[in-house]
Chains A and B, each alone.
Chain A
């Protein structure tokens, strides 16, 4: 049976682990550990390898949900992770110093994968920091020449994460029937 997967990526603390938890049918396998490097300034523990969750589909198939480790020193794993993936969910933390820089970094890094598949962008922590706005993100993306879905997301809220993933699926095929 084929292995299908969606990749969740984004900077440290953007909510990848939480988002996977929100839609996974099994408790996600987490590989968090005490932060010991630059992540220490942002959170007490961080994902040092990857997060993993599963959605059980009809017919016994499974959709695997992988979260990339936020730390750049694990970026060698990213290429391996995306192989065979059906799309990318990019989560950005709006309270970070420069979320646009984060966005560009991840869009560049996953450029080939996004070209082959699609990306949907979720902006987290907007209730704590309202700026930049979603419109500001679209302006930045316009410069990059792409028009992906960009939604305000609370990674703890299942419907937010679900809508973001749905937008990814419809981007891949608007003809999908509800």
Chain B
């Protein structure tokens, strides 16, 4: 890799969560990515906020531990610190870029050229570290536990916000759009109670089943794995709960909605992948969260049917609410969740109590099962005890009006 083009890796010290985020974004945005925030162990340079009450201690520790690692200090007051680069607050882009450039040079790395003409940063090499600013006792009073409580550190992942699919808001599917988006099963009326026994599908015969197996294996081994299917390979990143697939939604829908043909079964394999080979050159917008991906392909495989391992005569449970803001919201999914979270019910009972077509219950249970959120209740009591009717809220009229107002507001 050409190091001259890579950003300087910096660690931030003496900053609370907000300041930390702000500085990370400042380096990424206004400073045009000349530096990137990383964990302390991987850093080439350190940036200290000298106005933090424990900055002096932190700085001394750093200088003793890594005397050759360049240090940039930012402060409201003029500082004369030995062997450090100083940038005065409020931090100006050109000053920060200049300091970062000098830090890079001191490491023997060529500085990245930016459109900003850097002004030389102040470097002092003779005067010992001075005490922190006079405001520090105030800061200490304000947040007395700050030195004891490790402030949450995180590396601002400059790529994270480019993962547009992963952070996409929920898609709300209406009854009218269900058939076109999810599809229908030919030859079975899934909404006819007499045909319920036939309204099943086997996830293992679909892409869903292979993805579930690959994800399980990848998580068990804590390894990046690639699912090869004779189609676009699916890469699974267990540590970040992500998958990557080079296919648009239309292609995926078509592939996920059809049983895997016998000619493709032989091509299915799961192979381990190294981080380097998995991450390089991957388009960030093609990352999805594991949950959102599985949920969606389960909906497409289900087409309004329920998984064959569910006995329709027995109740199913819902472990917890799905994270609906990041999932495909099928018709009545919120209502079904609210009802099922109260206690196990049979699929038919849910449809009856909520007065909805069974296919909406079936597709919800299929998707929730794929994430391990729903399953067959095994306790005897769930079968023996009569499922209670739901009691209307005394403000039902009002709640309905709020709901219709919210549903009329598009995000």
**A27 close to chain B: CB less than 8 A:** no
Across-interface contacts of B337 in A (CB, < 8 A) = 149, 167, 170
Bound form: Cα–Cα A85–B403 in Å: 16
Kindly state the interface size class of chain A when it binds its partner.
35 or more
Across-interface contacts of B381 in A (CB, < 8 A) = none
A174 and B342: CB pair below 8 A?
yes
B169 and A42: CB pair below 8 A?
no
B405 and A160: CB pair below 8 A?
no
Bound form: Cα–Cα A86–B143 in Å: 35
Choose among B146, B320, B402 the residue that contacts A138 (Cβ–Cβ < 8 A). B320
Bound form: Cα–Cα A166–B150 in Å: 36
* Minimum Cβ distance to chain B for residue A46 (Å): 12
Across-interface contacts of B331 in A (CB, < 8 A) = 178
Bound form: Cα–Cα A97–B151 in Å: 6
* Minimum Cβ distance to chain A for residue B374 (Å): 13
A97-B150, A158-B410, A160-B169 as given contacts; A169 in contact with B399, CB under 8 Å: yes
Closest to A58 in B: B401
A173 and B396: CB pair below 8 A?
yes
Bound form: Cα–Cα A23–B338 in Å: 22
Bound form: Cα–Cα A13–B152 in Å: 15
**A80 close to chain B: CB less than 8 A:** no
Across-interface contacts of A143 in B (CB, < 8 A) = none
Across-interface contacts of B152 in A (CB, < 8 A) = 95-98, 129
- Contact mask for chain B residues 34-70; partner A; CB cutoff 8 A; 1 contact, 0 none: 0000000000000000000000000000000000000
A96-B17, A151-B325 as given contacts; A86 in contact with B405, CB under 8 Å: no
Choose among B321, B402, B410 the residue that contacts A150 (Cβ–Cβ < 8 A). B321
A residues 155-170 near B (Cβ < 8 Å) are: 157-160, 162-167, 169-170
A57 and B324: CB pair below 8 A?
no
Bound form: Cα–Cα A133–B401 in Å: 33
- Contact mask for chain B residues 130-143; partner A; CB cutoff 8 A; 1 contact, 0 none: 00000000010011
A148 and B321: CB pair below 8 A?
yes
**B115 close to chain A: CB less than 8 A:** no
* Minimum Cβ distance to chain A for residue B346 (Å): 16
Choose among A55, A128, A129, A153 the residue that contacts B325 (Cβ–Cβ < 8 A). A153
A177 and B400: CB pair below 8 A?
yes
> Could you pull out 10 A-B pairs where Cβ atoms are within 8 angstroms?
A57-B398, A63-B405, A149-B337, A153-B325, A159-B172, A163-B325, A174-B342, A175-B354, A176-B393, A178-B407
In the A-B complex, the 7 residue pairs with the closest CB atoms: A159-B411, A173-B393, A170-B338, A174-B338, A174-B339, A158-B411, A149-B321
Residues of B within 8 A of A (CB): 16-19, 21, 139, 142-143, 146, 149-152, 154, 156, 160-161, 167, 169-170, 172, 240-241, 319-321, 323-326, 329, 331-332, 334-339, 341-342, 353-355, 390, 392-393, 395-396, 398-407, 409-411
